[in-house]
Amino acid sequence: MTSLDLRSFVFLAALQCVVMGTVLLGLRNNAHVPIPGPRHWGVAPLLALVSTIVYGLNGELLSVTVGNGFLMGATLALLAGTKHFLGRPWRWRPWLTLMAVCLWSLIAFTVIWPDYRARMLIFGMSMAVICAAHTRTLALYSRGLPSRLMLAAMGWQTFVLLARALSTYWIDSPSTGRFDGGSLFQAIYIGTYSFSILVVLVGAQLMVNERVREKFEYLATHDDLTGVLNRRAIVRQIDQEHQRWLNEGRGYALMLLDLDLFKRINDTFGHQVGDQTLIRVTKALTQGLRNTDSLGRYGGEEFIALLPDTDMSAALSLAERLRKMVEQMPRSGDEPACTVSIGLTVVQGGEKTPGAVLLRADRALYKAKDAGRNLVAIVR
């Protein structure tokens, strides 16, 4: 393998990585949903390309400082992207401190005590620390094939960096060149980084695509304002629960909830306060329901709750608890008081579709409204 071959391989690999990084930046800009991480992932190959270009220039000190600095920056950007994507805390300061100490040490062993082996040991160990942190983050907090692909690449990269750094005093001399094509170990070391960053970017793109799909699926089934199921999604769940009732005979209850005098809140305090009231009520209802229950926004200020495997007695007790929770919601500032009327029913034998159940729940809600509001009414 010649020196030109190794330089060409690294440069072509860097160009491939830049293409992947550009795709990641494009996904971030066109996703229409906030996804943390792709910006850092997309910048990383650009930094790596600058590093590759600097490495190809003449000047040992230039490559030691600027080239290695950009390479460490690319590796840190990959780690920062993964941390942000997985929702883990990230601080630049300790890593930039490591980078500064590493680069100053490299300058010392270039200008004051010229020794390639010392530089290889310091830089290899510093890079291994970054890659090991990346590997650990992926191992602890990520799931799925794309993340396992990234985990394998970063784990292998960490191993190669450690092996190369610790073996430098056996296989190198003080004057070894950074693109020494005669060294198999050097070729593996340089080639591994180029391949690893490409694999990491492929995994990152797959993870972003999966996150975008999940985000759009969520938006398609949930209400924008309150975050609970939208009308289509909750009706679909009711249909499925009714089918289970027909197949297995396991009953369910339906609860229609309507905020009392909500128009007055909007007219008096404004629609923004009205929206905040809907959000507060939704939080109270969500906290009061069981894990097996489902809550959806049926329209405007009206909500519907599906209570699987629930008879009238249990449903009535739960409905009364929800009513009290809304009535006793803590308020701050000028937030208006709010109450809720609840109509309740359970599925009856012989009902082929949930339409009749929904109709009874609606009748029960009007019954609660007519009786003075802030009440629970039932229709059997």
> Which of 310, 326, 325, 329 has the alpha carbon at shortest distance from 378?
310
pLDDT of residue 1: 40
Which DSSP string corresponds to 5-23?
Answer: HHHHHHHHHHHHHHHHHHH
Given this model, what pLDDT does residue 181 score?
A: 46
Q: Give phi and psi for 143, each to the nearest 5.
A: -140, 155
Q: Nearest CA to 301 among 317, 289, 285?
A: 285
- The confidence score (pLDDT) of residue 266 equals 87
**What per-residue confidence (pLDDT) applies to 15?**
62
Residues forming beta bridges with residue 254, ordered by sequence position? 306, 345
> What angle (nearest 5°) sits at the alpha carbon of residue 165, between those of residues 160 and 170?
110
Ordered by where they begin, the domains of the chain are 3-221 (1.20.1070), 231-378 (3.30.70.270)
Segments of the chain assigned E as strands: 252-259, 294-299, 302-308, 340-346, 376-378
Quick one: tokens of 98?
A: 């490591």
Cα angle vertex 172, ends 171, 177, to 5°? 135
- Contact (Cβ atoms closer than 8 angstroms) between residue 140 and residue 147: no
**Residue ranges of the chain with per-residue pLDDT less than 70:** 1-21, 23-33, 58-59, 177-191
| Predicted local distance difference test score (pLDDT) of residue 11 | 57
Distances (CA, A) of 308 to 283, 291, 361: 20, 10, 15
Structure confidence at residue 179 (pLDDT): 55
Per-residue CA distances from 116 to 185, 281, 357 (Å): 14, 66, 80
Q: Which residues are catalytic?
A: 301
What pLDDT sits at residue 233? 94
Q: Which one, of 149, 154, 147, lies nearest residue 207 by Cα?
A: 147
Sign (positive or negative) of CA dihedral 198, 200, 206, 212: negative
Cβ neighbours for 61, distance < 8 A, ≥ 6 positions apart: 107, 110, 111
What pLDDT, in 10s, does the model give residues 34-88?
Answer: 778 888 888 888 888 888 777 777 667 777 888 889 989 999 999 999 999 999 9
pTM: 0.70
At residue 257, the pLDDT reads: 96
User: In this predicted structure, what is the pLDDT of residue 334?
Assistant: 74
